[in-house]
Each structure stands twice: as C-alpha cells, then as structure tokens.
Amino acid sequence: MSKQQYGFAIIGAGVVGKTHAERLLSVEKGKLVVVCDTMAERAQEIADKYGCDWSDDLAQVLSRTDVDIVTICLPSGMHAKYTIEAARAGKHVITEKPIDITADNALKMIAACRQAGVKLAVISQHRLHPATQQLKQDIENGKFGKLIIGNGAINWYRPQEYYDSGAWRGTWEFDGGGALMNQGIHTVDVLQYLMGPVESVYAHCETLGHERIEVEDAAAATLRFRSGAIGTIVATTCAFPGLSTRIEIFGKDGSAVIDGEELVLRKLRSDLGEQSGNDISSFASVNKDTTTAADPTAIEGEGHIKQMNDMIAAIEEKREPIINGEEGYKPLEIILAIYESARTGRLVTLPH
Ligand SMILES: NC(=O)c1ccc[n+]([C@@H]2O[C@H](COP(=O)([O-])OP(=O)(O)OC[C@H]3O[C@@H](n4cnc5c(N)ncnc54)[C@H](O)[C@@H]3O)[C@@H](O)[C@H]2O)c1
C-alpha cells in the first residue's frame, strides 16, 4: 500500500550517517524521524540540524511505528547484526556498503530480510552514475563486442590519522579489510557490474604505508571473468594526495575509461569507423575527482538519493530494490576471494 510519506531511521551518526540525513532532504516521500547512535551527542547533533528525534537506544527506535525504513550506517562488521534486528522488527533496511564483511553474515541478512518479508538494499551509489549506466547499456547492446580486458584502479590516500580516528577503522573485526573492502569496493562492484561475473582471482595484498592497521593498504589482483575476459584491480590508500578512481573497459569493438565519475573516453568502432582507431586526442585525462580520493567525508553524487527513492518504489511496487542483498553480495565475494588468494598464494575460483 502506498503511503504519503515513509519514516526513516538512521542507525549510526558518523561520517556517512550525516550524508544519509542530508540526502534524505531530497527524497520526496522520505522523512527522517529519528537518528540513533551509542554516542548520543552525535545523534543529537544531526537531530538538531534536521529537526528529528534522536536516541541512543536501538530497541526503542525499532519499536517506533512511524519508522518504515532503517538505514544502517554502522562500522562494516556490524551491518548483519543490526540489519537482522531491524528486519525482525518489520523494518525495511538500506545498509551501507559492504553488505557485511563475511559471506556467512551477508547470506544470513539476506535470509532474515526475506523471512521477515522486508526489503534489503545495499548502497553502491557508483553503479547508478550516468557514466556507469551509459557503459552498461552499451555493453548490453553489444557495442563493445567481445569483452577483452576490464581494469579497476583505486589510488586513494588516507593518512594515518584517518585510521586513528575510529577504533574500528583498519581492523579485520569491524572494517573487514582495507583499501579493497572499505575504499575499493565501489570500483570492484562497478567493474563486475560492467564486465560480468568473476571466475577466478590471483592477488597480493600488503600493508606497506601505514602503521597501527591490521588490514591491507595496497592490493593488486589479476582477474579472469566468466566471459573469458581478463583484468586487474589495484587498490591503495597510500597514493598521496589521492587520485581519482579509474575503470577501463576494452572490447573488440570499443574502449572506454571512467575517471572519477566522468566518462572521459568512449570510442566505439560503430561510431568511428576503422580509420579512427589511432585517435588518441582524448586519452590525456588524470585526476578528475578530488573528492573521496583524498577526503573520506566528501561523499559525492546522487546515488544515495536514487537508492532511497528506489527503496520506496520497491515497497510500493512489491519488487526487489535494484541493488538488493544478492547484488550487494557480489563485490564482497570477489574481495574475499582476493584476500584468500593473497593469504594462500593460490589462484582462487568463484563462487567462493
Ligand atoms: N557509500 C559510501 O560512499 C560510504 C562512505 C563512507 C562510509 N561508508 C560505510 O558506512 C559505514 C560507516 O562508516 P563511517 O565512516 O560513517 O563510520 P563512523 O565511525 O564515522 O560512524 C559510525 C557510527 O556508528 C556508531 N555506532 C557504533 N556502534 C553502534 C551501535 N551499536 N549502535 C548505534 N551506533 C553505533 C559510532 O558511534 C559512530 O558514530 C561503513 O560500513 C562504511 O564502509 C560508506
């Protein structure tokens, strides 16, 4: 049944919790009713700014009848626990990425939401950028021909103070990984979304540029996609001062590069004809994106708004959200396979 307005609760009032509150202002049928954080002053600060209630008691928030949708903005290793609690309380859930940090937890949260009859969406806002959508459409329409190579690069910078700013950051228990699981997951997701499922990975992951972190700050993986195409993922948080992310797609009939959020190169044989194959005029592009590459609080784009609106539409249309639990699981599975390969020194085959 459609409602005039859907009540939202934000659980976790840190960096991304603030983004959710701000983005909700642009969600026509969404209303922020309460923000919850165990650090009450953080919840209070958002409540004061956006004119909603605050709480440090999750049970009380979940018992409210004016809350329809809960957004989980907690440390990554807590996503499953609180998603499952919210689902059992009958609330639809939008969780931040990664869906969780273990496959087991991710599958449990998918099952719990299904069992409770509530929707589960996982934030992956870069999938919805116009550049990604353009390439997705091109690939589906066969404009790139047979896919040959897909590369993703996340050359970001996080100073030691970033990791020191929260006890959970850089830990296996709550961050679940480093440059890949936290920063790189968006790019891993967009790459697999465009190139299709990954069949196997071989990787190195190291901690090379930071102290007092358990997880990797440098990762390099080679990929074989199920289609037969191959590719790479390189991720680091040591690349001072933080470069834009880059995705490169090469097919038999075309090449494309997304730099930051911008489609800086899209050359299709069907548009150019054979003779234009040597035109390199638009290849010279670096660092289009100075946002989250260097500043974790500068979360760009309208993807969050689109996914919040999509959740409301999914409820009303009785369909799955466009990035549901199963979709959110895909980049997690690839990253966990990369970690296993780095740990064992072996090629790891998916499904993992
Ligand atoms: N989509 C994006 O672009 C994006 C950007 C940043 C972060 N994230 C994701 O968002 C999540 C949170 O990251 P962050 O940078 O906002 O972290 P943060 O540390 O800034 O915020 C987390 C908040 O959760 C609170 N908290 C911890 N345990 C709690 C509990 N049991 N109940 C209520 N509150 C509790 C903490 O007090 C803190 O305020 C992570 O999973 C991260 O990967 C996504």
Which residue, by CA, sits nearest to atom 18 of ligand 1?
A: 14
C-beta of residue 139 within 8 angstroms of C-beta of residue 249: yes
Sorted by sequence, the CB contacts under 8 Å of residue 111 that are 6+ apart come out as: none
Ligand 1 center to 296 CA (angstroms): 12
Could you tell me if the CB of 182 is within 6 A of ligand 1?
A: yes
Residue 287 confidence (pLDDT): 45
241 prior amide bond cis, ω within 30: yes
The tokens describing 287, both together, are 């660092």
Q: Tokens representing 21?
A: 């509150």
Best of 20, 34, 37 for a ligand 1 pocket test (most atoms within 8 Å of beta carbon): 37
Mean pLDDT by 10 residues, the chain (352 residues): 92 98 98 98 98 98 98 98 98 98 98 98 96 98 98 98 96 98 98 98 98 97 98 98 97 98 96 58 44 84 94 98 98 98 98 80
- At 1 the pLDDT is 64
CATH class of 6-125+300-324: alpha beta
Yes or no: say if 34 and 52 are a contact pair by the CB < 8 Å rule: yes
Does residue 193 contact residue 137 with C-beta atoms inside 8 Å?
Answer: no
CA distance 215 to 230: 26
Q: Of 191, 254, 262, nearest to 227 (Cα)?
A: 191
Structural tokens at position 260: 């930051």
Q: Which pLDDT does position 113 carry in this prediction? A: 98
The DSSP line for 182-231 is IIIHHHHHHHHHHH--EEEEEEEEE--S-SS--S-SEEEEEEEETTS-EE
Give yes or no for residue 122 CB within 6 A of ligand 1.
no
Q: How far apart are the C-alpha atoms of 2 and 326, rounded to whole Å?
A: 25
Atom of ligand 1 nearest to the CA of 17: 16
Q: Is 75 in the pocket of ligand 1 (CB under 6 A)?
A: yes
Class of the CATH domain delimited by 126-293+333-349: alpha beta
**Ligand 1 proximity of 299 Cβ (cutoff 6 Å):** yes
* Interval between CA 338 and ligand 1 midpoint (Å): 24
Q: For residues 43 and 9, what is the distance between their CA atoms, to the nearest angstrom?
A: 11
- Tell me which residue has its CA closest to atom 4 in ligand 1: 16
In short, whether 96's Cβ falls inside 6 Å of ligand 1 is yes
User: Does residue 152 contact residue 247 with C-beta atoms inside 8 Å?
Assistant: yes
Cα dihedral 294→295→299→300 (10° resolution): -50
What is the Å distance from ligand 1's center to 275 Cα?
Answer: 51
Q: Please name the amino acid found at residue 189.
A: D
Nearest to 103, CA basis, from 351, 299, 345 = 351
| Residue 13 alpha carbon, nearest atom of ligand 1 | 39
- Return the ligand 1 atom nearest residue 296 CA: 6
User: What separation in Å is there between the alpha carbon of 8 and the centre of ligand 1?
Assistant: 17
CA gyration radius, the chain:
20
How confident is the model at residue 286, as a pLDDT?
A: 42
Instruction: Give pLDDT, residue 51.
Output: 97
Number of alpha helices (DSSP H) and beta strands (DSSP E) in the chain = 11, 14
Q: Where in the chain are all domains bearing CATH 3.40.50.720?
A: 6-125+300-324
Of all atoms in ligand 1, which is nearest to the CA of residue 303?
Answer: 1
Helix (H) or strand (E) holding 131: helix 130-140
Left, alpha or beta for 242 (phi > 0: left; psi -120 to 50: alpha)?
A: left
Residues of the chain with CATH 3.30.360.10: 126-293+333-349
Question: Could you give the strand order of the β-sheet that contains 30-36, starting from the edge strand earlier in sequence?
Answer: 53-55, 30-36, 6-11, 69-72, 92-95, 120-122
Which of 35, 74, 186, when mutated, tests ligand 1's pocket best, judged by the most ligand atoms within 8 Å of its CB?
74
Atom of ligand 1 nearest to the CA of 125: 1
Q: Report which protein residue has its CA nearest ligand 1's atom 34.
A: 37
pTM of the complete model: 0.94
- Residue 56 vs residues 36, 94, 213, 339: alpha-carbon distances, Å: 5, 19, 29, 35
